[in-house]
Amino acid sequence: QIDYTGTEPSSPCNKCLNVSWDSTPPCTCTINFTLEHSFESNVFMYYGLSNFYQNHRRYVKSRDDSQLNGDNSSLLNPSKECEPYRTNEDKPIAPCGAIANSMFNDTLELYRIDNDTRTPITLIKKGIAWWTDKNVKFRNPTGDGNNLTALFQGTTKPVNWPKPVYMLDSEPDNNGFINEDFIVWMRTAALPTFRKLYRLIERKNNLQPTLQAGKYSLDIAYNYPVHSFDGRKRMILSTISWMGGKNPFLGIAYITVGSICFFLGVVLLIIHHKYGNRNTSADIPN
């Protein structure tokens, strides 16, 4: 994990700490780090946020699923649940709502350093969203032709976005509402500290590890402000084995709940043996 929030004065990203949503050009910083051990299989690159409550009731409801599913009528007349991010300058916002408006928009690039030469690591941006989200829940509006600019005509971008939704990517199958970065963000997290999949690093062959041990650098286009609510940002590199990924939350939760149930079972057993054999009948006086 690499924390690049920049709250420490010695951090290279400290100069970007008070960045705003519309900073032009974006603030950039570079963090160098070393991998002590090689990553043998496919690597998953995540971004992580702390103290960000995506589970707030009004935040979770602030979206229009019909609009995100490509319904043309909802595109121009979003749900009132999106307020106050429903319209801007008398134009409907697409996508509307607080979730979309707060979409994570830092850009992360990874380089390997070998003899002072920086070699970029190929980061794959497709295949990071759930299949059901990509192919069922999120669809672009329909109409004559496949020109997204024309299909989204009459709408405006979310307030905090630097560009409209039809300019999220140059590839048609990853643009608009079906942009996978956008889809991943729209699946809200249950806890205030969470991570979301950002990119994939695929293993090229079986002879060399995906990421060799050594020196690396992380280039960051710092666009996403978190200092105002005491948030933290981090980049995580993770891999999986035949047992899956390393995520101790479920294991800790199961052990905690199981321990509580066992303790309560012992207490109830003691109470039953101590008081359960008493004669509960009472003499009723004449």
The string of pLDDT tens digits covering residues 256-282 is 999 999 999 999 999 988 887 665 555
Alpha-carbon distance of 214 to 114, in angstroms, equals: 8
Tokens of 17: 């700490």
Q: Do residues 166 and 177 touch, judged by C-beta distance below 8 A?
A: no
Q: Do residues 151 and 64 touch, judged by C-beta distance below 8 A?
A: no
Q: What digits encode the pLDDT tens for the residues 53-72?
A: 999 999 999 999 999 999 99
CB-count burial class (<10 Å; 0-12, 13-18, 19+) for 218: buried
pTM: 0.83
Of 209, 75, 92, which Cα lies nearest the Cα of 143? 75
pLDDT, mean over the chain: 90
Residue 255 Cα to chain centre, angstroms: 27
Q: Name the band, by pLDDT with cuts 50, 70 and 90, for residue 5.
A: very high
Alpha-carbon distance of 164 to 51, in angstroms, equals: 27
Residue 284 has pLDDT above 60, yes or no: no
Q: What percent of the chain has pLDDT over 70?
A: 93
Ranges assigned E (strand) in the chain: 2-3, 27-35, 43-50, 87-88, 91-92, 107-114, 117-120, 194-201, 214-222, 232-241, 244-245
**How many CA atoms lie less than 13 Å away from 269 in the CB half-sphere?**
6
Specify the pLDDT at position 244. Answer: 58
CB-count burial class (<10 Å; 0-12, 13-18, 19+) for 97: buried
Residue 243 has pLDDT above 70, yes or no: no
The neighbour count for residue 273, using CB atoms within 10 Å, is 9
Q: What digits encode the pLDDT tens for the residues 187-212?
A: 999 999 999 999 999 988 877 889 99
Q: What digits encode the pLDDT tens for the residues 130-166?
A: 999 999 999 999 887 678 999 999 999 999 998 999 9
Specify the pLDDT at position 34. Answer: 94
φ, ψ of residue 28 to 5 degrees: the values are -125, 150
Determine the 3-state secondary structure of 70 from DSSP: coil
Residues in the chain: 286
